[in-house]
Amino acid sequence: MRIDKAISAIDHSASFRIYLAMTSGMVQTAHELHHTAPLATHLLGRALTGTGLMGIMLGEPDFKVTLQFKGDGPAQQVLCTAGSDGSTKGYIVDPLIDMPPKGNGAPNVGGAIGRGTLTCIRDTGLREPYVGTVNLVSGEIAEDITSYFAESEQRATSVDLGVKVGEDGNVIAAGGFILQMLPNPDEDAITAFEEILKKLPSIAEVVDRLQKEAEGRDLEDVMKEYLAEMFAGLPADFEVEPLDLYDIGWNCDCSMERLESVVLSLGSKQIREILDEDHEAELVCQFCGKKYHFDEDHLTRLLHESIRNRVRIQ
């Protein structure tokens, strides 16, 4: 059983807020769509989970966030987009990357992405989206998102993300959390916050065990148990109380209409060249791999629309 669900919580002193998710199904879907090798599954899975959590944190309907991890490593780039409804999608440029593990046996996610930048684009309905870029700290994804919040938004944040991949390459478990200090936190809460982070259990292992025990159970109860286990040991004044339950999962919203817009963006000159040389075109969605075929009649209609649009602008 692979669970996709998220939950928010706040501590008793209202000093920090937590967004916690299980994303095993979402990461498995990405693995199946992109045919990722294990290292790429770890990298893309962490990025999808972090982006999905940041999408939920936006709160307002139709708000979206995009994270682009771009480096000089063999993975080259990972790009993920999520909405406030938890719908998430993403892709990795090289899904077949393979590198030896680090000395401790962990997958070398940081080496896969290499040195580079993290760019966050937040679309909150304003005329121009907010864009912030920071240098990658490690390429391990969680540390890079933590750094983004500190540098670009000046918010004390801790991020932890984990993926467990089986010997057959399929996803066993995935999850993560984003914990943020709220304005005017209790000083003792900061100390408790720092201490608990030193003793956190492995997210992927906790998710794996809870999924195995989840059959027939209410998912809200499972998520509350997940929350309690991840943050056990906090002093009574700073114990966490669950707030809201959220959906989170893979959803690619590509469509023929969206791909028509891509063709129109080429301009009438290039559309005419495609018609003259190939008489047809095929576009593939980078996120889900779905193919969209444009025959000669379809391209001709789009050419006429492009010409009309140019005339209107003039």
Beta strands, E only, the chain = 4-11, 16-23, 64-71, 77-83, 87-92, 116-123, 130-135, 157-165, 171-181, 240-246, 249-250, 281-284, 291-294
The verdict on 116 and 221 lying in the same domain is yes
Can you name the residues that pair with 160 across neighbouring β-strands? 177
Can you name the residues that pair with 281 across neighbouring β-strands? 294
Q: CA–CA separation, 248 vs 238, rounded Å?
A: 27
Extract the tokens encoding 69: 């991890």
The percentage of the chain sitting over the pLDDT mark of 90, rounded to a whole number, equals 80
Domain containing 269 equals 256-313
| Pairing mode of beta strands 87-92, 77-83 | antiparallel
The verdict on 197 and 303 lying in the same domain is no
Q: CA–CA separation, 11 vs 17, rounded Å?
A: 7
pLDDT for position 121: 96
The verdict on 192 and 289 lying in the same domain is no
Of the residues 220, 235, 250, the one at which a domain ends: 250
Q: CA–CA separation, 235 vs 184, rounded Å?
A: 19
The verdict on 207 and 266 lying in the same domain is no
Buried b (16+ CB within 10 A) or exposed e, 253-269: ebeeeebbeebeebebe
Is it the case that residue 312 has pLDDT exceeding 70? Answer: no
pLDDT for position 185: 86
pLDDT for position 313: 47
Contact 68, 119 (CB under 8 A): yes
Confidence band for 145, pLDDT divided at 50, 70 and 90:
very high
Of the residues 209, 232, 250, the one at which a domain ends: 250
Is it the case that residue 310 has pLDDT exceeding 80? Answer: no
Report the pLDDT averaged over residues 143-159.
92
Through-space distance between the first and last CA atoms of the chain, rounded to whole angstroms: 57
The verdict on 271 and 238 lying in the same domain is no
Extract the tokens encoding 288: 């889900």
Q: Is the pTM of this model over 0.75?
A: yes
The verdict on 143 and 290 lying in the same domain is no
Is it the case that residue 27 has pLDDT exceeding 80? Answer: yes
Confidence band for 124, pLDDT divided at 50, 70 and 90:
confident
SS3 139: coil
- Residue 310 burial (C-beta neighbours within 10 Å; 0-12, 13-18, 19+): exposed
